[in-house]
Amino acid sequence: MSEPILVRREGRVATVVLNRPERLNALDLASWRRLAEVAAELDADEGLRCILIRGAGEKAFAAGADISAFARERGTIEQARIYGEAMHVALRAVAECRHPTVAMIRGVCVGGGLELASVCDLRIAGQSSRFGAPIKQLGLTMSYREIKGLIEIVGKAGALEILLEGRIFGPERALQMGLVSRVLPDERLEAEAAETAERIAEGAPLVARWHKKFVRRLLDPRPLSEEELEEGFASIQTEDYRIGVEAFLAKRKPHFTGS
């Protein structure tokens, strides 16, 4: 059997490929577990600056969970707990990865695929993209932890529209909801995703990591501590700050070192 998740590294950008095109890249238990491992491995890579996540083939980002595997993987409450925990670990690993993540979405992006895309930092979609979570037709709920990423992007009303109506909708509605950052013709999608990843990779990597951390922390209603507020000035002490300011004054492109 082929690997359910593939990783390609090109310079400062890693591409994670959901690799089950014969199943429209549907995610089973093994896929979620491997995705969690891959996310942890990439998070630890100091030389990395951006992660691009996509589906194999032309037809799908990911068609949710693999329903054909439900009988053996989610047939009982205990099995469902094990599956749900593996899914949560993977989604959390992607959401909390210190490197910026970009989802490149072509074709079907539903259910678990939509949840995965929703925990990425940016989502770029092609005209062929289709979104939704029609799990009401399965008599299945999306758990608290799974819904969280969706609410953070589209809010309460958007999340309830997706879950209660259960319809499949196109990229125009996804853009209106704020579910995706931009929509392009399919033939331009890969180039735009690559250009976006490169724009991110050109920036100071420590700054990107801090910004991700700050945004995530601001979603927590607890008051910020003095130590956290002080961290907002930590970039001043980095070598990249010196490099950036000198390059700006000299009107040249900075080459950041991540230190």
Q: Where are the domains of the chain?
A: 5-201, 204-250
Q: For residue 155, is it left (φ>0), alpha (ψ between -120 and 50) or beta?
A: left
- Output the pLDDT for position 111: 93
- Output the pLDDT for position 1: 56
Helix 77-95, helix 144-160: angle, nearest 10: 80
Enter the pTM of the model. 0.92
Q: How far apart are CA 137 and CA 204, in angstroms?
A: 46
- Output the pLDDT for position 243: 94
Q: Exposed (0-12), middle (13-18) or buried (19+): which is 145, by Cβ within 10 Å?
A: middle
Residue-wise pLDDT for 210-258, tens only, equals: 999 999 999 999 999 999 999 999 999 999 999 999 999 999 999 999 8
| Low-confidence spans in the chain with pLDDT less than 50 | none
- Output the pLDDT for position 108: 97
- Output the pLDDT for position 123: 98
Report the top-level CATH class of 5-201: alpha beta
- Output the pLDDT for position 69: 77
- Output the pLDDT for position 140: 87
Measuring CA to CA, which residue among 196, 201, 59, 38 is closest to residue 116? Answer: 38
Instruction: Considering only the C-alpha atoms of the chain, give the largest distance between any 2 of them, rounded to a whole number of Å.
Output: 64
Residue-wise pLDDT for 41-57, tens only, equals: 999 999 999 999 999 99
Residue 166: count of CB within 10 angstroms of its CB: 14
Q: How far apart are CA 22 and CA 105, in angstroms?
A: 17
SS (H, E, C) 155-167: HHHHHHHHHHHCC
